[in-house]
Amino acid sequence: MSNDATAYTTVPPRARQKTSMVPIALATLSGSALEWYDFFLYGTAAALVFNKIMFPTTDPYIGTLLAFGTYALGFLARPLGGIVFGRLGDRIGRKAVLILTLVIMGAATVGMGLLPTYAMTGLAAPVLLIALRLVQGLGAGAEFGGAAILAVEFSSRGRRGLHGSWPAVGVFVGLLLSSGIFAIMTTALSPEAFLAWGWRIPFLLSILVVATALIIRVKVSETPAFEKLKSEDQVSKQPVREILRTQKKPLFILMGAQVAQNGNSYVYLTFATSYIVGTLGLASSLGPLGVALGAAVTLVTIPFFGWLSDRIGRKPVILFGALSGAAFAFPFFWLLQTKSEGLVLLALVIGIGVGNAAMFGPQGAFFSELFTSRVRFSGLSMGREIASAAVGGFVPLVAVALVGWSGHFWPVAVLTILICLTGVLAMSFSAETKDRSVEAAELR
């Protein structure tokens, strides 16, 4: 299989030129924001709340491991969601699937806010929590992929990196909302009030994001690339089988790049919050505040790196992100060890807003361009979520276990470096993709 840009047929972007990118950007950003508001909310709650009220134990370390274990379960459900809904996205269209996944994710998150605690119902509480976490993971399995495809398939060729970055921006809008709300709640309420009822408010507020995103998505039309597939009777009947038969190399490149970005990000976004409180003994509001500040920075750096990838290519930008992420692994923990609130916040801002943003910004365009339009939704969602399940949900769990085993941060820093180098290796096998057509249905 050729990876050259010429391997893809160029098709004039007819309908795409007549479509404003503003509603498309809002549709992709809002749904992605909900997805990751939900997931980061759970990650923060696992570190600060669920380890106390859902998995009570005399050993705080064991309680944290159990809470992060359920966090990992959501990632195990995501590949199944990516395969099921990705196939639907290639069979019935991008729009319908994105509306369905939005409703599923929102319902699961609101349900978490209504759950009883272990003290109320015993084992039923963690069982219900796990069930909702699995449902949440199923819906989220195709959300980012579908949103990225929607943006890229509507965008003009020279701006796909920028427009494909909006779902990634949405990730950090969701993170900013979840971390910010948790920081407000933990600061405004006493620890007793927060654990009694305050933790529920962020989960219940997700209904506002669902309503907003749903209104926007219903008004968006189907993408030109999928409409072209339907008009030419080129819709794939078995997209997953087609990927495994004809497009395995792009699938593995995507997975390697995703392992680097996803695994690296969860060191900062989830594990660091637990480490700052549990190991360093600092204020519980410090981690969420640092993550919120880092998320605010990415609202600028992610679209910048997406735009930069339109100018110099996806490959050099992603490689810069992976290498800088590896280089910052030990300095990140050195800054945390100072226990200076200013330096802890700086460490989180740099970790989230530079290397991770450089890997993340071009992803929507790069991952979409790796596949033909017939199998794009399946390839992107399946590959991305399998890679995320392999590392994202387990990185915080493994990191907590490594610190417990060694009593030191260095094993986690080494783990971070190895994760980032996986991305470097994957990108070394990829050709540049920024000049490929996204409307081509076949490899030539």
Cα–Cα distance for residue pair 9/18, rounded to 1 Å: 21
- Give every residue of the chain whose pLDDT is below 70, as ranges: 1-19, 47, 56-65, 67-68, 71-72, 392-393, 441, 443-444
Q: Which two tokens stand for residue 433?
A: 């993709």
Judge whether 381 and 82 are in contact, CB under 8 Å: yes
Q: How does pLDDT run across 349-372, given as a tens digit for each residue?
A: 999 999 999 999 999 999 999 999
Confidence (pLDDT) at 206: 87
Confidence (pLDDT) at 16: 42
Confidence (pLDDT) at 399: 84
Confidence (pLDDT) at 7: 43
Confidence (pLDDT) at 444: 55
Whole-prediction pTM: 0.84
Cα–Cα distance for residue pair 436/2, rounded to 1 Å: 12
| Amino acid identity for residue 207 in this structure | I
Confidence (pLDDT) at 172: 86
CA distances in angstroms from 150 to 98, 226, 306, 318, listed in the order given: 9, 10, 16, 21
Exposure pattern of 324-340 as b/e (b: 16+ CB <10 Å)? bbbebbeebbebbeeee
Task: Enumerate domains of the chain plus CATH numbers.
Answer: 18-428 (1.20.1250.20)
Cα–Cα distance for residue pair 295/170, rounded to 1 Å: 10
Q: What is the CA radius of gyration of the chain?
A: 21
438 backbone dihedrals φ, ψ, rounded to 5°:
-95, 0
Confidence (pLDDT) at 11: 43
Cα–Cα distance for residue pair 52/129, rounded to 1 Å: 14
Judge whether 48 and 182 are in contact, CB under 8 Å: yes
Residue 132 Rama label (left phi>0; alpha psi -120 to 50; beta): alpha
Cα–Cα distance for residue pair 15/223, rounded to 1 Å: 9
Confidence (pLDDT) at 3: 44
Q: How does pLDDT run across 195-215, given as a tens digit for each residue?
A: 888 889 999 998 888 888 889
